[in-house]
Each structure stands twice: as structure tokens, then as C-alpha cells.
Amino acid sequence: MNRYGGGAVTPYDPTQPPIYIPANTKTPYSVFMMHRRKDLWGPDAELFETDRWIDERLQKHLGHSFAFLPFNAGPRICLGQQFAYNEMSYMLVKLFQHFSDVELVPEAVAPELRPNPAWAAAREADGRIPRKAVEKNSPRGT
């Protein structure tokens, strides 16, 4: 792991006005600080807010591919990135295996995304109800 973050050495004088960087200058960057930039993440950039990933602000951040770099990017991308994603998927599967039923709070779903109530009331030809109207969220064994 790189303890001090990424950085590069410019082999030549870049000509990007108004910024001048002399040749052979190390130009480090901090992913920690990038993830707290208010111009990218809004005025609450330093707060842990899970809602930032599920509202319209996410669309703004998806356009900038280097705004969120938990595993870095490019030739120095973390070799364990896919392993971490697989471990998280495995952990979520194991967590949900401890629940027999899951109930989604109706207020958590936008009205236009809610299923038609008639679907839950539909019956098979033999009179069976093929699906539950509401599922309960309770750990197994309770």
C-alpha cells in the first residue's frame, strides 16, 4: 500500500496556463481531501450522509469519473478492488440469509415505483394467492 497517496513527477514543463509546474516537480494528490471537496460533493461533503448516493446529486457525480476514488484509478488502481467488491457481495448474501422475510417500508419507495396493489390480490386458477402482500423482516429463530 502507498502510505502517502499518489503522485507524479512531471518530466517536462507543462503548458497549462495559468498554472505553471516546473519540470521534475513531484505533484502529489490526496484522495482523502478529494472526497471532501465541497465543489464536488456539496456543502455537506464532510458529513457521512448515505442519502447522497440515492438522490439526484448522484447523477451529477457520476459524470466525473475521478470524483470518487476509493481504490484509486489508472495504472495505480488497487489490485484488491475486485476482491473487496466480491467480499462485500458475499457478506451481504450471508447477512440476508439470516432473515426469512424482508419488509420494505412503503414510505421508502416513491409512489410511481410501488407495485400495483391488485398484483398482491391476484389469485391463481385454483384460488391460491401466489405472493404475499407484505413480507415481514425478522431474523430466523425469533
In a domain, 136, yes or no: yes
Q: Which residue has better confidence, 28 or 14?
A: 28
In a domain, 104, yes or no: yes
Read off the pLDDT of residues 93-131 as tens digits, 9 standing for 90 and up: 999 888 877 777 778 778 887 777 777 666 666 666 666
Mean pLDDT across the stretch 23-48? Answer: 83
Read off the pLDDT of residues 82-97 as tens digits, 9 standing for 90 and up: 999 999 999 999 998 8
pLDDT at 63: 61
In a domain, 116, yes or no: yes
In a domain, 133, yes or no: yes
Question: From the annotation, which residues make up the binding site for heme?
Answer: 78
| 134 has a pLDDT exceeding 90 | no
C-alpha–C-alpha distance, residues 89 and 81, integer Å: 13
C-alpha–C-alpha distance, residues 29 and 6, integer Å: 6
CB 59 within 8 A of CB 53: no
Question: From the annotation, which residues make up the binding site?
Answer: 78
Provide the domain limits for residue 122: 100-142
In a domain, 138, yes or no: yes
Number of domains in the chain: 1
In a domain, 108, yes or no: yes
In a domain, 113, yes or no: yes
In a domain, 9, yes or no: no
